[in-house]
Structure 1
Amino acid sequence: MGFSDILDEIGGFGRFQWIHVTLLSIPGLLMASQNLLNNFTAGIPGHHCAIPNITQRANDQNITVEQLGTDQLLRAFIPQDKSSSKFTKCTRYVEPQWHLAGTNMTGANITDLETESCQDGWTYEKKEFISTIVSEWDLVCKLRPLKQMSQTIYMGGVLAGAIIFGGLSDKFGRRAMLIWSYFQLAMLGTFTALAPSYLAYCTFRFLSGMAVSGIILNAVSLKVEWIPTKARTLVGTLSSFFFTFGQMVLAGVAYSLKDWRYLHVAVCSPYFVFFLYSWWYSESARWLLLNGRSVEALKHIHRVARMNGKPEMVEKITLEVLESHMKKELQSSKSSYTAYDLLRRPVMRRISICLVAVWFSTSFAYYGLAMDLQKFGVNIYTMQLIFGAVDFPAKLVALAMLSFLGRRITQSTCLIMSSVVIFANIFISSEYQTVRTALAVLGKGFTSSSFTCVYLFTGELYPTVIRQTGMGFASTMSRIGSMGAPAVLILDEVWPALPSMVYGGAALIAGIFALFLPETLNVPLPETVNDVEEKWSKKPHVQKQTEKESVALKDMKDGREECEDGKTSGLNAL
């Protein structure tokens, strides 16, 4: 009897699992807010060069604002864009052109008039946003790349968090790192609203991104390691709906506030509440057992049994019974594992390489579509709402596919279909903006479904002894993808279709890689690296032993007879 059987004995997916999964999923409502916050906190308001004392200068020319209005008066100071009636954003006339005041110069030849860059700052519209970091620190014109840089720095923090918290979780436990991550995000996320400078803002965002990784990775593992095999698909998909609904919540909160400082407080301060109730969580009994803390693991198992209405199992499952039935896993835990072990053995190497491709491309395409909502010509709050809403039907389809077709086919299909939609958008004329927007929304739905699948898939593929390290390693490429996605948009200056070709090509390649992953539908979670090699090796399993492994294997062989005796006595006790 393995740990999955123990879970079935103490109630399967009972009352404890329902409460546990729900409490772990609620913070997901604000995870979307963290990752997509830059759409609103770094939104670019309409702007033009500031003209000091414009009213007084007009009065000196016997022109009043009442006669013309501010916009018409500005035509004497700021050129108009040739293709629209809007003022240029980064230039103004060196000398006022009073003869142009009140004149519509759209399409006129005014190139002979001398212009200069904005010397006195900018004036920002306050229709779509009241205040953003762009208007706060003038991140426009020559400084516009700093807007995207803030998101890249945040994603860099998420990347660092995936590496750091992945390893720390395998060493110190999922629960401890999750509690700390809640506290870190609550404190530093709230402090971000008080940032006095762009540098301070980016520093706080980097540290907040680290905490976001810690929350996501550890929440996924705590869910997966406390639920029975058959419930993993349903739980994984339903949990992702919290993230989906959170995107819609973000649109509403951002529309209500429209000020980046208030918005940061609104989406980060609730983590103080999550921090307080997170002390109720039970540490993963699997992890406790494999780290020599069997007594603590037994206490948590008894707690779960009582909550699930199985008090009789408290007497039946003793420390001896538990250890005898986890003998194989406990022997494996004597060896320490590092990220190198993810690549050292053939099956683990194949899994890791394929997952790296899937994580990178999913995130690359997702954030390429989701982080530049202003380009669609639709109100940004409406666009965010639509992008969130499309995830519901997409994930319901993914749930059905995961349950009936399996993880591998679902993962591959979502990635390939997203690439098809992205490629299709290349051939749609810019005149058909509605069609292009609809295809972008559909592509975002496929990439979101791919995210749902890969989080579940990765947790099922890697063994317990190195699961967090594996998830941290694989998701590292996801963070690199999210960091690189905004930079690819610069390629549209070379050729407008080039960004779409890059996004679509990456998704297509990853979809092919996904076909080489093992299927995990209704397969018990692997506990050790040997489990992975034995389950999914296409050849008879032959282990190349290091000196450390040879000693561990010898101990296992010597203890085989004792293990069998222990199993017999354990079953008799039950």
Structure 2
Amino acid sequence: MNEDFDSILAKLGTGKWNILFLITMCFWYSQLVYHTIAVVFLAPPVDHTCRRPPHAHTPIIVLPPEATHATGNTTSFPSTNIQEDSCHFLVENITTGRLVEEPCTEWDFDNTTFISTVTSEFQLVCDKQYLRATYHGMYMFGTLAGSFFNGYLADKYGRYTLICISSGIYSVTAIGSAWLTSVPWLFTARFLLGTMHPPSLLIGFILVQEIMEPKMRIVTGIMQFTSWSFATMLYSGWAYLIREWRWLQTFVSLPTLIMIPLLFTIDESPRWLAVVGQHQRALKVLRRAAKLNKVTLPPEQDLLAIMKIIQEQSTIKEQEVSKSVMDKLQNVAHEVLLLFSGHKIRLITFVMTLDFCIVGMLFYGLTMGANTLGVNLFIYVAISGTVEIPARTILLPITKWLGRKRTVIISYFITAVVLLTQPCIPEDLKVLSIVLIMIGKMMSTCAFTSIDVYITELIPTEVRSQGLGLTMAGSRLGAFIAPFLISAVEETYPWLMSVVFGLSALVACVALIPLWETENIRLPDTLADLDSLHTGTDSETNIQPDEEIRC
């Protein structure tokens, strides 16, 4: 089935029709960045002082006589151990005469860097400091929830339909949430944005891959995610120019409306249309593609014959799509249990879920780590996005040279080394600290991208979608944990962020050792194939580098 349709795509080649898809999805990926890492500029930690009420005690510094060359005795208060901080103020207990702490309820914020932020407007400090991390966590929790249903909806209603709906909801929510005035509603909007993230990102990626000729899929895949890196760099510039969080979010969200006319330039996936039996609609899309690419396709009767074969071979899938939601959930639960049914698949599931959780924590945590280093936030984020570009572009030749497993292990190992070294750098060598952190960010990007390839070759075709779904959920969990970890250590033990991330990368590196290399090994189609697979170099399971690898 895949070979037949791939031959059609090969005849179409790569032309204007394909480029319109690529431009549309690259643009949309760049828009998702502004809300995925919004916490960096919209809800950063802000210096603050307690706004003491009139009845609060005003601290008086009384120096000893020898310090002022004066005579006489110094005055002391009954309480000598209590110190004011930004979260409390002192009041005198009229009964005991002692000074006691009271929690602060209002603060004055330093507006040197930002005129207004979510942190300062909603006063997310002291006992409400965790809500800053929750601001980011709600988005990631939404992506976790959205990842469970986006595949089902895309299979049932189509890739293009789901992208249209999700991008529309995302645009309206992104613009409207900039003017919400309560924390609960703001967090609800963040969760909704998160649920629309997987349909926009993952299904968009699938759509582009399904309309590209085989030899261009790796290249276009890298290009799509490179647009994410460019947007990260651009975000730091917009944030530098616009220092009020509501206007910044509005400004970066308004371009999402450009997606509306762009959607009119692309089509539904003809491959999906063939699977679900909409052959005439698929023919219409292919005719338009041939016209735009200026090529000639085989006769329509030949195309219809190929699509008929595709539909017949996908009967089981079509029946599954037509089942009720409850039946679908039961099937998913059964298929997830298959991921723990044998020794090899269980090993893959545990190791990859752990590694995806760690790489998600590393990737997003290092993007948000400027405040723990005490460096310029705008420059840090710009450099953070910049180092992702070479990390993605050099990955293809490196993976071919070293193989999948060694590429991931080395990426994790270098990340661990530089992050564990960074806390040992003296404070007067801050530039070197930033360089080490950026190397860690670049190598974690390599790990994130290469592990995506590695896992698709480890998991058998029979349970590949379920395995990918579970492990991707692990990456969202890691991204959810990252801001809470940073929030817990950034003020008291900022060096601890690098230590925890470095040790985590080392754990991920060691965890991969029991797995095997997948390059030039025939991929398993079923769990039985996996169990019988020899991971050495025997002639039965290995294939030559120039032999075709099929999933």
CA contact (8 A) 2:275 2:310 kept: no
Query: Secondary structure at the residue paired with 2:181?
Result: coil
CA contact (8 A) 1:229 1:522 kept: no
Report the counterpart of residue 509 of structure 1 in structure 2. 507
Query: Secondary structure at the residue paired with 2:149?
Result: helix
Report the counterpart of residue 560 of structure 1 in structure 2. none
- The CA deviation at 1:429 is 4.6
Residues 5 and 142 of structure 1, relative CA distance in 2, 3 Å threshold: closer
- Give distance in 2, aligned partners of 1:25 and 1:418: 28
Q: TM-score, normalised by structure 2?
A: 0.78
Letter of the structure 2 residue corresponding to residue 290 of structure 1? V
Residues 5 and 393 of structure 1, relative CA distance in 2, 3 Å threshold: closer
- Give distance in 1, aligned partners of 2:380 and 2:98: 39
Report the counterpart of residue 420 of structure 2 in structure 1. 423
Report Cα offsets for 1:440-492 as digits up to 9, x if no partner. Answer: 11111111222333455566777899876654433211111111123334368
Report the counterpart of residue 90 of structure 1 in structure 2. 87
Letter of the structure 2 residue corresponding to residue 20 of structure 1? F
- The CA deviation at 1:397 is 2.4
Report the counterpart of residue 201 of structure 1 in structure 2. 186
- The CA deviation at 1:250 is 0.8
Is 1:123–2:122 an aligned residue pair? no
Report the counterpart of residue 32 of structure 1 in structure 2. 33
Report the counterpart of residue 565 of structure 1 in structure 2. none
Report the counterpart of residue 106 of structure 1 in structure 2. none
Match for 2:387 among 366, 390, 395?
Answer: 390
- Give distance in 1, aligned partners of 2:285 and 2:345: 30
- Give distance in 2, aligned partners of 1:429 and 1:349: 44
Match for 2:410 among 409, 413, 422?
Answer: 413
Match for 1:257 among 242, 251, 260?
Answer: 242
- Give distance in 2, aligned partners of 1:464 and 1:270: 39
Residues 493 and 89 of structure 1, relative CA distance in 2, 3 Å threshold: closer
CA contact (8 A) 2:372 2:497 kept: no
Match for 2:376 among 373, 376, 379?
Answer: 379
- Give distance in 2, aligned partners of 1:302 and 1:460: 34
Query: Secondary structure at the residue paired with 2:49?
Result: strand
Task: Figure out how many residues of one structure are paired with residues of the other and give that number.
Answer: 491
CA contact (8 A) 1:518 1:536 kept: no
Residues 473 and 40 of structure 1, relative CA distance in 2, 3 Å threshold: same
CA contact (8 A) 2:146 2:196 kept: yes
Match for 2:167 among 182, 186, 189?
Answer: 182
CA contact (8 A) 1:159 1:476 kept: yes
Report Cα offsets for 1:190-233 as digits up to 9, x if no partner. Answer: 12111111111111111111112221111111122222333222
Residues 239 and 520 of structure 1, relative CA distance in 2, 3 Å threshold: farther
Letter of the structure 2 residue corresponding to residue 338 of structure 1? V
Match for 1:301 among 253, 278, 286?
Answer: 286
- The CA deviation at 1:332 is 6.0
Match for 2:338 among 332, 337, 344?
Answer: 344
Residues 451 and 282 of structure 1, relative CA distance in 2, 3 Å threshold: farther
Report the counterpart of residue 436 of structure 1 in structure 2. 433
Percentage identity across aligned positions? Answer: 26
Letter of the structure 1 residue corresponding to residue 242 of structure 2? L
- Give distance in 2, aligned partners of 1:444 and 1:3: 41
Residues 494 and 254 of structure 1, relative CA distance in 2, 3 Å threshold: closer
CA contact (8 A) 2:403 2:517 kept: no
Is 1:172–2:157 an aligned residue pair? yes
Letter of the structure 1 residue corresponding to residue 335 of structure 2? D
Across the aligned residues of Structure 1 and Structure 2, the Cα RMSD in angstroms comes to 3.7
Q: Tell which deviates more after alignment, 296-305 or 202-211.
A: 296-305
Letter of the structure 2 residue corresponding to residue 34 of structure 1? H
- Give distance in 2, aligned partners of 1:48 and 1:495: 20
Report Cα offsets for 1:418-456 as digits up to 9, x if no partner. Answer: 222222234445554332222111111111222333455
- Give distance in 2, aligned partners of 1:429 and 1:113: 42
Report the counterpart of residue 480 of structure 1 in structure 2. 477
Letter of the structure 2 residue corresponding to residue 505 of structure 1? L
Is 1:44–2:42 an aligned residue pair? no
Residues 240 and 182 of structure 1, relative CA distance in 2, 3 Å threshold: same
Residues 331 and 482 of structure 1, relative CA distance in 2, 3 Å threshold: closer
Letter of the structure 2 residue corresponding to residue 438 of structure 1? V
- Give distance in 2, aligned partners of 1:147 and 1:308: 49
Report the counterpart of residue 518 of structure 2 in structure 1. 519
Residues 24 and 351 of structure 1, relative CA distance in 2, 3 Å threshold: farther
Letter of the structure 2 residue corresponding to residue 380 of structure 1? L
Residues 394 and 117 of structure 1, relative CA distance in 2, 3 Å threshold: farther
- Give distance in 1, aligned partners of 2:366 and 2:19: 34
Report Cα offsets for 1:374-411 as digits up to 9, x if no partner. Answer: 12111111111121122222222223324544544433
- The CA deviation at 1:331 is 5.9
Report the counterpart of residue 558 of structure 1 in structure 2. none
CA contact (8 A) 2:12 2:295 kept: yes
- The CA deviation at 1:285 is 3.1
Letter of the structure 2 residue corresponding to residue 153 of structure 1? M
- The CA deviation at 1:495 is 7.4
- The CA deviation at 1:245 is 0.7
- Give distance in 1, aligned partners of 2:441 and 2:196: 25
Report the counterpart of residue 452 of structure 1 in structure 2. 449
Is 1:18–2:16 an aligned residue pair? no
Report Cα offsets for 1:24-62 as digits up to 9, x if no partner. Answer: 1111222222111101111233221235799xx9xxxxx
Residues 304 and 520 of structure 1, relative CA distance in 2, 3 Å threshold: farther
Residues 158 and 271 of structure 1, relative CA distance in 2, 3 Å threshold: same
CA contact (8 A) 1:163 1:473 kept: no
Report the counterpart of residue 75 of structure 1 in structure 2. none
Residues 23 and 155 of structure 1, relative CA distance in 2, 3 Å threshold: same
Residues 186 and 440 of structure 1, relative CA distance in 2, 3 Å threshold: same
- The CA deviation at 1:535 is 7.5
- The CA deviation at 1:135 is 0.9
Report the counterpart of residue 72 of structure 2 in structure 1. none
- Give distance in 1, aligned partners of 2:102 and 2:483: 26
Query: Secondary structure at the residue paired with 2:211?
Result: coil
Is 1:156–2:137 an aligned residue pair? no
- The CA deviation at 1:350 is 5.8
- Give distance in 2, aligned partners of 1:227 and 1:430: 50
Report the counterpart of residue 215 of structure 1 in structure 2. 200
- Give distance in 2, aligned partners of 1:447 and 1:201: 31
Report the counterpart of residue 543 of structure 2 in structure 1. none
Query: Secondary structure at the residue paired with 1:89?
Result: coil
Query: Secondary structure at the residue paired with 2:86?
Result: coil
- The CA deviation at 1:414 is 2.1
Residues 229 and 411 of structure 1, relative CA distance in 2, 3 Å threshold: farther
- The CA deviation at 1:252 is 0.8
- Give distance in 1, aligned partners of 2:288 and 2:389: 35
- Give distance in 2, aligned partners of 1:343 and 1:224: 29
Q: Tell which deviates more after alignment, 9-18 or 180-189.
A: 9-18
Letter of the structure 1 residue corresponding to residue 431 of structure 2? T
- Give distance in 1, aligned partners of 2:485 and 2:176: 31
Q: Tell which deviates more after alignment, 414-423 or 323-332.
A: 323-332
- Give distance in 2, aligned partners of 1:458 and 1:223: 20
Is 1:539–2:533 an aligned residue pair? yes
- The CA deviation at 1:322 is 3.0
Report the counterpart of residue 550 of structure 1 in structure 2. none
- The CA deviation at 1:158 is 1.4
CA contact (8 A) 2:460 2:530 kept: no
- Give distance in 2, aligned partners of 1:466 and 1:167: 15
